[in-house]
Amino acid sequence: MVVNWGIIGVGNVTEVKSGPAFYKLPDSRLVAVMRRNQEKVVNYSKRHNVGKWYTDASKLINDPEVNAIYIATPPSTHAQYAIAAMKAGKPAYVEKPMALNHTECLEMIRVSEETGIPLWVAYYRRSLPAFLKVKELVETGSIGKLLAVNIRLFKQARERGLPKEEMSWHVFPEIAGGGHFFDLASHQFDFLDFLFGPLRNVKGNARNIAGLYPAEDTVSAAFTFDNGVVGSGSWCFVVDEHSEEDIVEITGEKGQISFSCFGHHGVNLKTRDKNKHLEFENPAHIAQNLVQQVNNEIRGTGECVSTMYSAARTSWVLDEIVIGYYN
């Protein structure tokens, strides 16, 4: 079986990170793309050698040649398009976070279970070599009994000095669900779910300190896991360039594992006996390993590690952390 993909929303994320994987993998073809802007979708289809293009998502969903759909639009339309795809009998693979909020995630899951049509979410770190190495180090006891995990992510404000109409959709909660926290911390929390299982007892504090845009820009959180690990995190998206930081630290009784979630700078293992730095090479199209897993599951030859259930748990965590800011 060849999986004939259609993509809804051919923006930047589909240029290198994900889009080419759909036509470079064996038994996978990209046959149609959709974007509301006709000039841009025609340009994309020519550059990526895609035979058909649409400016109407429903036409792509109902194209008889398309038998699986990748939804790469902002979160505000993930539920709408994924539900339409599943009701049309076509498996859906959606960008992260899974939807605008956890409530929408639950509706997507309900439709998937009702129709029997599968749904996956693009948390591709679950399939990258450095992150798989972290999982191996944790599971083989390289740092002994697990104690705590800490996240710090501080980034400059891309929006400083821009009028609102020129800002990214990522800072408008009605489109993104929240701010940059939803876009970036979702990857971190999903990976922690992959490592330790579901997060519990999630408490957060979200604020808008710089006043540049409507969404939260500074966040702190505390949480626990079923396995006893205690977690904490700090995020700020309006720091000076010299204050930028991207690190996840996992501490055990015999050592510590640390790594960058977005810089892809490798993995550091620190124990009493050694300090070791491990480097890894990612695929040219960073989502390719996960797309391969989705293809395999559609074709009945494997399973994808990023499910709608795990992705919905991550959306619940995000909602819990910012609930005080939006209510």
Q: Which helix (H) or strand (E) holds 313?
A: helix 308-326
Residue owning tokens 């992150």? 131
Of the pLDDT bands very low, low, confident and very high (cuts 50, 70, 90), residue 106 is: very high
Are 231 and 115 within one domain?
no
Question: Would the pLDDT of 327 be above 90?
Answer: no
What pairing do the DSSP bridges indicate for beta strands 28-34 and 3-8?
Answer: parallel
Are 120 and 193 within one domain?
no
Residue 192 near residue 202, CB atoms below 8 Å = no
For residue range 257-284, list pLDDT tens digits in order.
Answer: 999 999 988 999 999 988 999 999 999 9
Q: Give the rounded percent of residues in the chain with a pLDDT score beyond 90.
A: 98
Instruction: Calculate the dihedral angle through the C-alpha atoms of 83, 85, 91, 94, rounding to the nearest 10 degrees.
Output: -60
Q: How many CA atoms lie within 13 A of 253 on its CB side?
A: 4
Q: Considering 125, 149, 164, which residue would you say is the last residue of a domain?
A: 125
Are 101 and 134 within one domain?
no
Can you give the pTM of this predicted structure?
0.97
Are 161 and 22 within one domain?
no
Are 38 and 135 within one domain?
no
CA distance 292 to 27: 10
Range of 213's domain?
129-281
Are 170 and 95 within one domain?
no
Are 168 and 88 within one domain?
no
Assess if residue 308 is contained within a domain: no
Q: Considering 62, 94, 125, which residue would you say is the last residue of a domain?
A: 125
Are 95 and 134 within one domain?
no
What CATH number does residue 92 fall under? 3.40.50.720
Give me the number of domains the chain comprises: 2
Residues 45-53, mean pLDDT to the nearest whole number: 98
Mean pLDDT of the chain: 97
Assess if residue 157 is contained within a domain: yes
Are 174 and 201 within one domain?
yes
Are 136 and 77 within one domain?
no
CA distance 235 to 201: 19
- Tell which residue, 177, 216, 213, has the closest CA to residue 74: 177
Are 176 and 52 within one domain?
no
Residue 79 near residue 71, CB atoms below 8 Å = no
Are 137 and 253 within one domain?
yes
Q: What is the pLDDT of residue 164?
A: 94
